[in-house]
Structure 1
Amino acid sequence: MRIAVVQIQSGADILANLGRIEESARQAAAEGAKLLVYPEASSQAFGTGRLDRDAQEIDGEFAGRLRELAEELRVVIVAGMFAPADTVEREGKTINRVYNLALVTGQGQHLGYRKIHTYDAFNYAESDTVHPGEELVTFQVEGHTLGVAVCYDVRFPEQFKALATKGAKGIVLPTSWADGPDKLPQWRTLTAARALDCTSWIIAAGQARPGGEVEGGTPSGPTGIGHSCVVDPNGQRVAEAGYGEDTLILDIDLDVVDKVRKILPVLGAGKF
């Protein structure tokens, strides 16, 4: 199956971000890609304003236009967005929380995965403004089952194993991975480890690094480190982008997963 991993740097303007997605999607589809994976927060970048004010349901304009585009191009598009969730009281403040959602649309599907593991780490509490999801999501591309996770989920191997047990041969991973000391080595290690844990392809699309390579290795907040990647079920990195905007287009063999799982039958074999 031919895939496109599209590493963009989204901004504050949802319509402008839509335009960039549409342009790149047409280019990728013209090159034969059937699965197009975009970063977390593709609709609106973190740090560009109140997410709750611009959050949309998956029948709203952002998701609706991507649905039309995916059906026109006969592809599946995965892209990060934000949807309204609930209202909570925190320290005397009323907060309208959102879902950090990965939209999956195309080939007769239109659904959203709500990020399960909120980024409550490194002195930051995403759960203050983001409602954690609860359900695993799988979808179909060209008759193959894939799963979906978002960014911080990559630190939780059980989720990836559960998706593989549900039949996923590949797991798409939209991210906005924060840059900083040791963050790139962690990213590379975690994506390889998750591929090995669940003997599946990992297809990870990250936000491009603001400032590019010049700023690489310094703290960026949750605005991206780039380095989108594709990792095979043996943990080998078969493609990786750099810090800047880029598109990886490549063919992956999802059937190889069956061979790997036969040789390395780790799914369901644990004792704990």
Structure 2
Amino acid sequence: MRVALCQISVGDDPHENLQTALGAIAEAAATPGGADLAVLPEATVVRFGNDLAAAAEPLDGPFVTALRDAAREHGTAVVAGVFEPASGGRVHNTVVGIDADGGLAGSYRKIHLFDAFGDRESDDVAPGDKPVVLDLAGTRVGLITCYDVRFPELARALVDQGAEVLVVPAAWAQGVFKEEHWTTLVRARAIENTTWVVAVDKAPDRSRPPRGAPGGVGRSQLIDPMGTVVADLGPFPAVRVADLDPGVTAQVRAFLPALEHRRPDLF
């Protein structure tokens, strides 16, 4: 399985952001050997600090429709973060999964909202209430959005539901030690679940959004079930295609059967 980590910049104009996303998908598909799955960041429509309700669209709206058309054109499955309208003037922070034939495989609404480090995501975003595993590129993919990665019980629930790969789109907030937290947490989710993790953050903001602090630390990573970082995209916009071998998971679990050693009778 060939996975494209699409560490794109996301700004204040949804039209420009869509063109950037479509360009990243095209670049991934044009890589020798192509890509089975292209993963874009959280909040691909518009960066946080803008009027999210004004940018939100239903999943049959023009933004997701354009992503579906691109997936079909290039024969590449796509995961991307968007905003859906919600009640009370808020939105859902949603990750969509799109098949290589352009079909909508499903969606996940972010459960854990970033009310931390002085931010209040819940002022603008309504939480989801269900973990989601999708069939994409012939693989069971569990979806985790940004702040969700701080909650290991979500990743474990996804693995228990059959997830073979954990995909983590993010717009990780900048700040003291935040890059360290990001790189540590995504590796921890791989190690403790002996599974592949595809963690894609947006490229760091180089300017302050209309309100709030800049976001994105970059450092998008592909991590194998032993916690080895197979790819690390660093701090700048980039598209990287790398091989993800599902057979490694079985090999690791054969000599590190930590999931079998759990004690559900106690915990």
Q: TM-score, normalised by structure 1?
A: 0.90
Whether the aligned pair in 2 keeps the contact of 1:58 and 1:111 (CA below 8 Å) is no
2:81 is the counterpart of 1:80? yes
Note the aligned Cα RMSD (angstroms).
1.7
Give the AA of the match of 2:87. Answer: D
Q: Return the alpha-carbon distance in structure 2 between the equivalents of residues 98 and 142 of structure 1.
A: 28
- What SS does the aligned partner of 2:131 have? coil
Whether the aligned pair in 1 keeps the contact of 2:143 and 2:166 (CA below 8 Å) is yes
Q: Return the alpha-carbon distance in structure 1 between the equivalents of residues 105 and 58 of structure 2.
A: 12
* Superposition deviation, residue 237 in structure 1: 1.1
More off after superposition, 146-155 vs 121-130: 121-130
Q: Give the structure 2 partner of residue 38 of structure 1.
A: 40
Residues 237-272 of structure 1 deviation map (CA, whole Å, 9 limit, x = unaligned): 111111110112111101211222232223361331
Q: Return the alpha-carbon distance in structure 1 between the equivalents of residues 219 and 171 of structure 2.
A: 10
- What SS does the aligned partner of 2:53 have? helix
Cα distance, 1:16–1:200 mapped onto 2, change above 3 Å? same
2:200 is the counterpart of 1:232? no
Q: Return the alpha-carbon distance in structure 1 between the equivalents of residues 150 and 104 of structure 2.
A: 28
2:93 is the counterpart of 1:100? yes
The runs of 5 or more residues in structure 2 that have no matched partner are none
Residues 205-259 of structure 1 deviation map (CA, whole Å, 9 limit, x = unaligned): 11111239xx9xxxx8352111111111111111111111011211110121122
Whether the aligned pair in 1 keeps the contact of 2:84 and 2:91 (CA below 8 Å) is yes
2:116 is the counterpart of 1:121? yes
Q: Give the structure 2 partner of residue 174 of structure 1.
A: 169
Give the AA of the match of 2:21. Answer: I
Residue correspondence of structure 1 range 130-141 to structure 2 within 5 A: 130-141=125-136
Q: Give the structure 1 partner of residue 65 of structure 2.
A: 64
* Superposition deviation, residue 103 in structure 1: 1.4
- What SS does the aligned partner of 2:148 have? helix
Identity fraction in percent: 40
Q: Return the alpha-carbon distance in structure 1 between the equivalents of residues 109 and 214 of structure 2.
A: 18
Residues 65-96 of structure 1 deviation map (CA, whole Å, 9 limit, x = unaligned): 11111122111111111101111xxxxxxxx1
User: How many equivalent pairs are there?
Assistant: 257
2:56 is the counterpart of 1:55? yes
Give the AA of the match of 1:252. Answer: L
Whether the aligned pair in 2 keeps the contact of 1:177 and 1:222 (CA below 8 Å) is no
- What SS does the aligned partner of 1:124 have? coil
Give the AA of the match of 1:266. Answer: A
Runs of 4+ in 1 over 3 A off after TM superposition: 107-110
The runs of 5 or more residues in structure 1 that have no matched partner are 88-95
Whether the aligned pair in 2 keeps the contact of 1:40 and 1:206 (CA below 8 Å) is yes
Residues 9-61 of structure 1 deviation map (CA, whole Å, 9 limit, x = unaligned): 111221211111112211211221110001111111112x2101110011100
Whether the aligned pair in 1 keeps the contact of 2:3 and 2:242 (CA below 8 Å) is yes
Cα distance, 1:197–1:221 mapped onto 2, change above 3 Å? farther
Give 1 or 2: higher strand fraction: 1
Q: Return the alpha-carbon distance in structure 1 between the equivalents of residues 256 and 150 of structure 2.
A: 22
- What SS does the aligned partner of 1:3 have? strand
Cα distance, 1:68–1:114 mapped onto 2, change above 3 Å? same
Residues 116-143 of structure 1 deviation map (CA, whole Å, 9 limit, x = unaligned): 1111112222112111111111122332
Q: Return the alpha-carbon distance in structure 1 between the equivalents of residues 214 and 156 of structure 2.
A: 26
* Superposition deviation, residue 145 in structure 1: 0.9
Whether the aligned pair in 2 keeps the contact of 1:67 and 1:110 (CA below 8 Å) is no
Whether the aligned pair in 1 keeps the contact of 2:95 and 2:108 (CA below 8 Å) is yes
Cα distance, 1:157–1:139 mapped onto 2, change above 3 Å? same
Give the AA of the match of 2:183. Answer: R
Give the AA of the match of 2:9. Answer: Q
